[in-house]
A and B are shown apart, each in its own frame.
Chain A
Amino acid sequence: MSGFAQNTFNGLVSGAFYALLALGLAVIFGMLRVVNFAHGAFYMLGAFGAYVLLAEAGVPFWAALVIMPVGLALLGMALERAVIHRLTKLDPLYNFLLTFGLTLILQDLVKLRYGVQSSPYETPSLLSGSVDFGLFDFPTYRVFILGFAVLLCVAVWWVLTRTRIGMVVRASTERPDLTRAFGIDVGRWVTPVFGFGIGLAGLAGVLAAPMRAVNPLMGADLIIVVFAVVVIGGLGSIFGSVAAGFGIGLVQAWGEAYLSNFPLVSQTIVFVVMAGVLLWRPAGLFGREEAPA
């Protein structure tokens, strides 16, 4: 029983990373109709930034947790202004070329300076212990990640559903043309939303630094699963991406724990789920089918 609870907890922790990344992808796709293949690279920059801040300037984890998301959000906004916004009118192929190319450039720039070997990053001392849950004890840092991610998702949900800004963003995400027809300047919100999505990726990166290998390719490995998560949740669906993120984290953890005699199954389970969902609901679990153009 305690084993099951622990595996569930771990699944939720992995899910928290998926959810944060998928949430960013979802708002960006919703608002700009751009699939940001560079999302994993920004996650990597978040983790690397935390490492560089600590190793070269002695900036602690807690400060990095604020500095990196904000810094990357600003970088994201600059990129959106400079290149990304030009994609909206072009063939989706250009979207792929640009954002994927961006990934390669960012990865190689980091590689050039810091090499491919993973860089060390320690768990902040305040969170290095473990919490006793009666049935089992669990590393404090993981409890912190889970709490933090859930809190953040709830906050985003609150902003989106309870504030005027959120209403505008949601409307522009789901029906940009109609929103424009109501006289709302959709374009004004595009840049900050892109920056916000990138900021979330950077935040996930900083959170990952103490428990994952920090190297230029760390985002490239993770992003494959995150795209599956986004597709399962429904491309552009904000709630769907968060729910699918935690869901896939759980499925993976349970798969590894209880299907370990069938390594092929536990390795491919995410993509099996994705294929199943696409057959059953082509727009994803929470997505809405787009009206034919």
Chain B
Amino acid sequence: MRRTMGVAAASAVVVLVAGCGGGGPQSSGDQKLTGDKIVLGVLNDQSGAYSELSGKNSVAAVEMAIADFTAKYGDKAVTKDITVETADHQNKPDVANSKAQEMYDRKGVDLILDVPTSSAALKVADVAKEKKKLYFNIGAATTDLTGKSCNKYTFHYAYDTYMLANGTGKTTTEQIGKNWYILYPNYAFGQDMEKSFSTAITAAGGTVVGKDGAPFPNTSGDFSTFLLKAPNLNPKPNVLGTMQAGAELVNVVKQYNEFKLRDKGVGLAVGLMFLTDIHSLTPAALAGTTYTDAWYWNFDAKNREFADRFQQKAGTRPTFAHAANYSAALQYLEAVQAAGTDDADAVVKGLEGKTVEDVFLRNGKIRAEDHRVVHDAYLAQVKPQAEVTEPWDYVKVLKTIPAAEAFRAPSADCKL
């Protein structure tokens, strides 16, 4: 009861302030914004395995976007009342489902952001479709978001399994080694990654000489069986492609070094890796490893300027997920500003086919066909320890993969 009273009081205040302010844009008087405000919802993992690569710092990134938007438009902004709601989905699809409904229905959220973990991400896409509210996915990798599970209100913003496989698989095959041994965690994400990589490697003229699905979760923490097998295959692989993520990736890399596979002529390529993974493994353990990055904080002056501001706020350097959350929130606010309303259909109309350039999106375009947001991606290599001159600067970018090549063509499975 007290809660409803509080909400009622708060909305009364909002109405009064908005009424008295009178400085709003053209929309004042009209019901252009639901509740006269914009609410952004960050739904992600705030305590588990993905809480560091995204988590609370993604909320910080979204707050930065709001501050930048407000500073840019000042009194001309569609509203000054922009708030953030956050929730922890614990990487569980059912929790993600109910939190997403709660956000849209009860918290007045106009846009849900982030949502790592593919299974949870797909559930939220269903909710967005049902509620006809916007959803920008950043944290999840599955191409189904722009494939058979695509819908009008869902946009896939930062990366996907195709981008990772195409970048790392193709370029590593061309430049480092043609014979691959693939090790993947035996569940949806790992199997999807293995298929995408095998396709990309074969297309680039390489061969997958062996592949194994390791138990997931690997309770023993031991991958030695697979690591021992790799150098003894015939023909001998010169690249080990690991699709493990998080702590399992750490185990694989530690044991890869223990068995000295690099000295035995087997290089390392990683399917999905975040800056935070390199930090916890140390660049020494990963030196020479190639992977595809959606964004790197020290790539150029523009990124660095953002990274410096981010560090002031969050105390650490941003991962690509943090930068993408910033960009997604900013582009949504720009779209609302342009449309003059937060009506989802009107905003979608404004977003579709739009070309965008910001700190995260380089040569960015929001594809109308499947709502895939395409942009430049980067083939990155971990520096040797000796070349690491400042904290968190662990990577050099070997090659920029142009937006047009980085992502797959719109899938026939997607009917918006």
Contact = CB atoms under 8 A, between A and B. Distances in A.
Interface string A193-206: 00000000000000
Given A10-B224, A130-B260, A118 B247 contact: yes
A123 B212 contact: no
Interface residues of B, number: 40
A212 B186 contact: no
B227 to A, nearest CB: 9
B254 A211 contact: yes
Interface in B16-64: 47-49, 51-52
A221 B222 CA distance: 12
B248 A7 contact: no
Nearest to B221: A212
B219 interface: yes
Nearest to A6: B228
Contact of A253 (B221, B225, B277, B284): B225
B281 A118 contact: yes
A3 B51 contact: no
A103 interface: no
B232 interface: yes
Interface string A243-274: 00000010011001100100100110010000
B340 to A, nearest CB: 42
Contacts of A111: 47
Nearest to B49: A116
Contact of B186 (A215, A257, A267): A267
Contact of B215 (A117, A213, A266): A266
Contacts of B224: 6-7, 10, 13, 253
Contacts of B251: 212-213
Contact of A14 (B51, B220, B228, B254): B220
B247 A211 contact: no
Contact of A123 (B51, B258, B280): B258
Interface in A89-118: 111, 115-118
A263 B215 contact: yes
B213 interface: yes
Contacts of A179: none
A102 B277 CA distance: 28
Most buried by A among B224, B226, B250, B254: B224
B285 A222 contact: no
A23 interface: no
> By CB atoms of chain B within 10 A, which of A142, A210, A221 has the most?
A221
A79 interface: no
A222 B221 contact: yes
A118 B285 CA distance: 13
B219 A221 contact: yes
A123 B49 CA distance: 24
Interface residues of A, number: 41
B98 to A, nearest CB: 23
B352 to A, nearest CB: 37
B259 interface: yes
Contacts of A270: 219
B289 interface: no
A263 B194 CA distance: 15
A225 interface: yes
B276 interface: yes
Contacts of A217: 49, 247
A142 B228 CA distance: 14
Contacts of B285: 120
A7 B258 contact: no
A124 interface: no
B47 A116 contact: yes
A221 B221 contact: yes
Interface core residue of A122, A208, A249 (most chain B CB under 10 Å): A122
B177 to A, nearest CB: 23
A122 B133 CA distance: 48
B2 interface: no
Contact of A3 (B215, B222, B232, B280): B232
Interface in A2-46: 3, 6-7, 10, 13-14
Interface in B208-222: 212-217, 219-222
B258 A139 contact: yes
Contacts of A256: 214-215, 225-226
Nearest to B212: A260
A218 interface: yes
B337 interface: no
B250 A118 contact: yes
B229 interface: yes
A213 B258 contact: no
Interface string A220-232: 0110110000000
A280 to B, nearest CB: 24
B101 interface: no
Contacts of B119: none
A263 B186 contact: yes
Contacts of A267: 186, 215-216
Contact of B280 (A6, A118, A142): A118
A211 B280 contact: no
B220 A252 contact: yes
8 contacts: A3-B229, A116-B52, A117-B276, A118-B246, A215-B247, A221-B221, A256-B225, A260-B212
Chain A to chain B: the 9 pairs with minimum beta-carbon distance, closest first = A213-B250, A213-B247, A267-B215, A10-B224, A256-B225, A118-B250, A118-B280, A120-B282, A117-B52
Given A118-B247, A120-B285, 4 more contacts: A3-B232, A141-B258, A208-B221, A224-B219
